[in-house]
Amino acid sequence: MGRKNRSTQNKVYKRNAQKVYVKGDAKSKSLRWDKATDVFARVIALLFYPFYLLITKISGHQKMSKNSKASNKVTGKSSNKAFNRSAKPSATAVIERLKTRVKALDFSALKQFDREKFKAVTSQYASFLNHHKVVVSGVIGVMVVALIGVQALSSFKPVDVTSDEMSEAHMISVADAKASDTALEPLKTLPVIQDISFAAVRAYEIVVNDKVLASFKSESECDDVLDQLVSMYTAVGEGETSEILDWYYSEDVKVLHGFVPLTAFEGYDDVESMLAYIVKGTKEERTHIVQKGENYWVIAAYYGIQPSDLEVANPNVKPEALQIGQEISLVVPKPMISVCTVERAEYIDSIPFEVTYEDTSSLYRDETKVKVKGIEGEREVVANVTKQNGREIGRTVLEETVLSEPTTKVVYKGTKEPPPRMGTGTLVRPASRGSVTSEFGWRWGARHEGIDIGLPVGSDVKAADGGVVTFAGYSSSYGYYVMIDHGGNITTVYGHCSKLLVSKGDKVYQGQVIARSGNTGRSTGPHLHFEVRVNGTPVNPRNYVSF
């Protein structure tokens, strides 16, 4: 994990290096002399290049005029034979032709060189240069400086510094170096100018795990993005007793000052948009407007995602309180930079109670009833809580003080033999308490095939009549549910349970506790979904049970 590390320059720090490179040896001196002479030769060539160009232009003009006259005297047949490239003559023939061409050359043009004309042209150039000597000298000076500068910049290369290539005269020892530091790695390279060019843009970059994440015009903008990111998870709200002890990045985060080539530069980033990108991990925006009858299960199934993903994407939205027309995000955040915090928290925690059982003949076997309600105890806890992007990932308890002891729960356990495990033909209420919250029939544009009974999670769910369990498991719509065949083509269904107490193939009697109520499946709140089916077709349960 990387700590917060900000620096305006990309620096490497070494501790107690044994030897430091001071100046070059004989080889480096010879190399410098060769480069100096090369620069000097380039400057001389640059100064005399205009005169060389002038001379070659005049002589070339004279030579072209003489050659054109000589070419007119050559006959068509000899010319064709001399330059017939399609033929393949022997080596002797080629040599003879070359001798003929050399003899045919006319050097009389050199003898007829017009010196007066040359003097007139040169004097004209000299007069022009004298009249504009300031401009010409300035241009030449700029060219010389540019040439020397380019040559100097090209000489900046990494130089390996090892003891084998340097004499003792080029080494100095650090005064406070100790014998224990001999294992430390010595400085290997001299500072290098990595990227200085007229085709580069100066930028301050946020680098995450050696990968450039954002480029800004100023260092303050980089600091602003990182400070806002950290404050999102380190700010303590009103009424909170926790104290932030430390924070750090999960990744290696740096702020570096460098140069971006123009070919790779796409403009400076914006603080707000880059902060949103770092938090979400994507610039994609996908939202959904809640319609009538929709909940997280319906929306998740439509888009092919998990309901838990919607909860993560919308941390400030309560799934059970969705409103028609409400906008929710479909993008699950994957932060580019994770901020970890260590905070000191003081809170009241519960102490679980124990459970004991007493036999009673007033209840059927496997039936239970609470005699003494268990009460959880309380303790005051001081702990260090580690969070990543606001989500707890670890907890270390430092102190705890018991405020109240828990009260043991006493439960009656039945010993009486149960009635025959077969249907009586009469259905009773599947729950001893709770009220009907949704009737059988059309609801929210779809048919509701049962009755919903509002119950706290963990309430007893009883078989409406004796029969055989034909299904006990989970589905995406009913959650955990039980289906019982009572005979006479009558079947009952108990949905959205939190826990199942029977299995497929079990025989149950009327009133037997078969499950605990819950809020699983496509459910908007804790309740029991109860169905009555005749020949496999759902009918209104009120026609068979009195609620």
pLDDT greater than 60 at residue 8: no
Find which of 9-18, 47-56, 110-119, 403-412 is predicted with most confidence, using mean pLDDT. 403-412
Q: Residue 34: how many CA atoms within 13 Å on its side-chain side? A: 7
Average pLDDT estimate for 314-341: 85
Tell me which of 394, 414, 434 is where a domain ends.
414
Q: Is residue 440 part of a domain?
A: yes
**Does residue 273 share a domain with residue 214?**
yes
pLDDT for the residue numbered 6: 40
Task: Kindly list the distances between the CA atom of residue 136 and the CA atoms of 46, 50, 70, 128, in Å, as whole numbers in the listed order.
Answer: 13, 12, 41, 10
Q: What is the CATH number of the domain that holds 301?
A: 3.10.350.10
Q: Is residue 366 part of a domain?
A: yes
Mean pLDDT of the chain: 75
Q: Which residue has the tokens 């906008």?
A: 327
User: With 0-12 CB in 10 A as exposed, 13-18 as middle and 19+ as buried, what is 321?
Assistant: exposed
- On whether the CB atoms of residues 515 and 482 are closer than 8 A, the answer is yes
pLDDT greater than 70 at residue 240: no
pLDDT greater than 80 at residue 102: no
8-state DSSP, 235 = P
pLDDT > 70: what percent of the chain?
67
DSSP reduced 3-state for 269: coil
Q: Is residue 386 part of a domain?
A: yes
pLDDT for the residue numbered 294: 85
Q: Which domain holds residue 232?
A: 200-280
Q: Is residue 1 part of a domain?
A: no
- Identify which of 373, 377, 443, 449 has the alpha carbon closest to the alpha carbon of residue 411: 373
Phi, psi of 499 (to 5 degrees): -155, 140
pLDDT for the residue numbered 165: 42
**Does residue 493 share a domain with residue 529?**
yes
Give me 61's structure tokens. Answer: 């003009």
Q: Is residue 368 part of a domain?
A: yes
Phi, psi of 242 (to 5 degrees): -75, 155
pLDDT greater than 70 at residue 448: yes
pLDDT greater than 60 at residue 466: yes
User: With 0-12 CB in 10 A as exposed, 13-18 as middle and 19+ as buried, what is 49?
Assistant: exposed
pLDDT > 90: what percent of the chain?
29
**Does residue 425 share a domain with residue 397?**
no
Q: Is residue 393 part of a domain?
A: yes
| Count of domains observed in the chain | 5
Least trusted range by pLDDT, from 106-110, 263-267, 513-517: 106-110
Residue type, 279: V
Buried b (16+ CB within 10 A) or exposed e, 417-451: ebeeebbeeebebbbeebeeebebeeeeeeebbbb
| Beta strands per DSSP E along 3-69 | 5-6, 19-21
Average pLDDT estimate for 17-35: 46
pLDDT for the residue numbered 386: 92
DSSP 319-330: GGG--TT-EEE-
**Does residue 477 share a domain with residue 348?**
no
Q: Could you tell me the pTM of the whole model?
A: 0.41
Tell me the per-residue pLDDT of 279-295, one tens digit each, with 9 for 90 and over.
888 877 788 999 888 88
DSSP reduced 3-state for 146: helix
Task: Kindly list the distances between the CA atom of residue 399 and the CA atoms of 151, 376, 383, 402, in Å, as whole numbers in the listed order.
Answer: 69, 19, 7, 10
